[in-house]
A = this chain, B = another copy of it.
């Protein structure tokens, strides 16, 4: 069991919930990669590894993972959302290729700072934010030129 899954177990038990095999398998799946997985991909992977976790349980457990703070839900636009774990993964935003679907990450601390100032100016208390840049990734740019 991965260390992040251990932490999730602690979270679940502290909350007075049961650390079931379904919850464990969803967590292990999410913590197994740094990719940006959507719920359906998690479900498919689980099915292929013999887990019998249902769609409803996958969604419910992803919500718990987000609540635990170990996983972040990101909005990739047009109704798509994805999950990624946060351990050793400082906050960042995303470049989304509208051709191949690739999601790249970028970090720009000054943007974060400017967002805070914008909120102060407006008397707005920020809880979270979503910044996506849509366009052509380097690979797809080349593919078109060729």
Contact = CB atoms under 8 A, between A and B. Distances in A.
Interface stretch (A20-28, A31-39, A52-60, A103-111): A103-111
Nearest to A81: B78
A126 B132 CA distance: 10
Contacts of A119: 95, 133, 135
Nearest to A105: B122
Contact of A108 (B95, B118, B137): B118
A49 interface: no
A129 interface: yes
Nearest to A75: B77
A136 B123 CA distance: 9
Contact of A133 (B95, B129, B133): B129
Interface residues of A, number: 36
A129 to B, nearest CB: 4
Contacts of A117: 108
A87 to B, nearest CB: 23
B95 A130 contact: no
A16 interface: no
A124 B137 CA distance: 5
B104 A124 contact: yes
A122 B104 contact: yes
B111 A138 contact: no
Interface string A87-124: 00000000101100000101010110011011101111
